[in-house]
Amino acid sequence: MKIATFNVNGINGRLPALIRWLGTAKPDIVCLQELKTPQEAFPEAALKQAGYGAIWQGQKSWNGVAILARGATPVETRRGLPGDPEDDHSRYIEAAIGGATIGCLYLPNGNPAPGPKFDYKLRWFQRLSAYARKQLARKIPFVLAGDYNVIPTDLDVYKPESWKNDALFLPESRKAFQALVAQGWTDALRALHPDERIYTFWDYFRNHWGRNAGLRIDHLLLSPALAKRLVAAGVDREVRGWPKASDHAPTWIELAEKGATVRAQAGKAKAARPAARSGPPKPSSRSRAQPKKPSGRGRGRSAE
């Protein structure tokens, strides 16, 4: 089973790239973030034609999350995190698919920090952690996948000193992520690639993509029942170089089928594709394409 998370940064504007990636990568389950579209404008028909059923929670101009399933329709189990009935941001959706529960999340950016938006980020993190702990206690196969807007370690950022005052890298954000993982979750990409410098996000401005000045902020956390089935993980970073690309690249994992031999499945996965792609992007006609408008993520952004 292949599960991916992908912040599309506007699903309707990036739909051709999304459909192209779905056709080449063929993930079984996909968590999408930053749909940036109202509920009624979600491209359900186009995704269905591409072979994917979907559930989604839209929001005009901001936020928005969705879960796709290849050849099936996800069974929705939750919409929104508990703990704050007045929070109307579309940031969490959950579904049962293929014997696992998939939680798709878009954690608040938190900039500028300190300030109300950073306080909201930390409160949202507390709600996520409380909910995640309860799911671990159920001992079920569970994935928490999405854009966490957290850079966990120095290995996950191209220039740590430049981000020390950013909400994505502040000690409070990193400690919250570490505490979440310490509950018993497995950071899938780091579990298989503990020492590699791997990025999932490259901002649009100042040639961040061309310079490989990236961040790892998209994560898939696995419950113990799924962590023992983990056989491969990586980033389809070439997608970031496609025309009209998102500033994120799809991040994915592969799980051995329940009851299968993990060693055998890992061998097949390794033979099929490189596990992760790090290092500068190779020059090509695809990688030269750059959107012109900056995303505003990070220090200069008054983020949601």
Residue 149 labeled ligand binder: yes
Distance of CA 99 to CAs 29, 95, 142, 177, 225, Å?
A: 12, 10, 9, 26, 11
106 carries an active-site annotation = yes
- Cα dihedral 63, 69, 73, 78 sign: negative
CA atoms within 13 A on the CB side of 127: 18
Residue 49 tokens read as 């034609």
The answer to whether 59 touches 91, Cβ cutoff 8 Å, is no
Exposure b/e, 213-250, CB count within 10 A at least 16 = b: bbbbbbbbbbbebbbebbbbbbbbbbbbbbeebbbbbb
- Cα dihedral 200, 203, 208, 209 sign: positive
Residue 147 labeled ligand binder: yes
193 carries an active-site annotation = no
End-to-end CA distance of the chain: 33
Distance of CA 159 to CAs 152, 164, 175, 211, Å?
A: 13, 9, 19, 12
Residue 89 labeled ligand binder: no
* Given the residues 106, 120, 148, 199, the one annotated as active site: 106
Residue 193 labeled ligand binder: no
* Given the residues 28, 92, 147, 219, the one annotated as active site: 147
Residue 7 labeled ligand binder: yes
Residue 248 labeled ligand binder: yes
208 carries an active-site annotation = no
Catalytic residue ranges: 106, 147, 248
Going by the annotation, the residues of the binding site for Mg(2+) are: 7, 34, 147, 149, 247-248
